[in-house]
């Protein structure tokens, strides 16, 4: 099976398994999604979804969040880990959105990446999931799967993103990256992965994968 055939099979199988994948992080708008993604760094989506209702009850918009003391934010988000740094980022980002973007989350990668503590992956998630603008955020699951499926060399997430964008149609990026996340969690984990029973690895063939 050549790369083109692998790509086509991967697309078909992911659509069969996850025809309408829900966004993993619960949110109601671009701002709450941005905060949730910030909290998700080195933390599970399940844990983030347990904490954000408590935080958003206090402040679910940049204005209210900017008024909160950093220590108060930190106390609420502590279960997500890295609370001191994340609290500062949330506070700083909220203030910048108010001051520079009139209280609205910007809808360009450049502007999002200018926010305190907001990197390319976080910005890409907001672009794709909040604004429905094609983007391909690469997390650890997508990075791992792209390497296993022979779609990328796996040297770093930047290369993986570029490689995936080359082989997958732009109009499916937003849904595809979510499908790959769910597949990585359910069928293709980092540890104790059995390619013989994996719904995709077992079909595209182990010999096609990068060693």
Query: What is the CATH architecture of 3-21+136-208?
Result: Orthogonal Bundle (1.10)
The percentage of residues in the chain with a pLDDT greater than 90, rounded to a whole number, is 92
- Domain parsing of the chain, residue ranges: 3-21+136-208, 30-129
Active site residues: 121, 139
pLDDT at residue number 129: 97
Please say if the pLDDT value at position 205 is more than 80.
no
Is domain 30-129 given the CATH code 3.20.20.70 in the classification?
Answer: no
- Model pLDDT for residues 165-193, shown as the tens digit of each residue: 999 999 999 999 999 999 999 999 999 99
Please say if the pLDDT value at position 142 is more than 50.
yes
DSSP string for residues in the chain: --HHHHHHHHHHHHHHH-SSPPPSS--SSHHHHHHHHHHTTTS-HHHHHHHHHHHHHH-SSHHHHHHS-HHHHHHHHGGGS-HHHHHHHHHHHHHHHHHHHTTS---SHHHHHTSTT--HHHHHHHHHHTS--------HHHHHHHHHTTS---S-HHHHHHHHHHHS-GGGHHHHHHHHHHHHHHTS-SSS--TTT-TTHHHH-GGGS--
pLDDT at residue number 208: 47
- Model pLDDT for residues 84-107, shown as the tens digit of each residue: 999 999 999 999 999 999 999 999
């Amino acid at each position: 099976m050549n790369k083109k055939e692998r790509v086509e099979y991967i697309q078909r199988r992911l659509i069969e398994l996850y025809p309408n994948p829900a966004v993993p992080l619960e949110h109601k708008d671009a701002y709450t999604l941005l905060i949730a993604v910030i909290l998700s760094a080195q933390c599970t989506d399940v844990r983030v979804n347990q904490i954000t209702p408590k935080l958003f009850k206090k402040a679910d918009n940049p204005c209210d969040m900017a008024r909160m003391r950093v220590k108060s934010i930190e106390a609420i988000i502590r279960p997500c880990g890295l609370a001191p740094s994340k609290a500062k980022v949330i506070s700083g980002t909220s203030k910048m959105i108010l001051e520079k973007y009139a209280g609205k989350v910007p809808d360009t990668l450049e502007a999002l990446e200018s926010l305190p503590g907001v990197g390319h992956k976080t910005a890409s998630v907001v672009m794709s999931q909040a604004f429905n603008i094609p983007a391909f955020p690469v997390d650890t699951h997508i990075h791992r799967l792209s390497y296993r499926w022979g779609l990328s060399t796996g040297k770093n997430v930047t290369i993986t993103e570029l490689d995936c964008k080359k082989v997958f149609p732009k109009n499916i990026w937003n849904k595809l990256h979510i499908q790959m996340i769910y597949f990585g969690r359910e069928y293709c984990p980092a540890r104790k992965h059995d390619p013989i029973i994996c719904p995709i690895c077992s079909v595209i063939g182990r010999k096609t994968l990068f060693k």
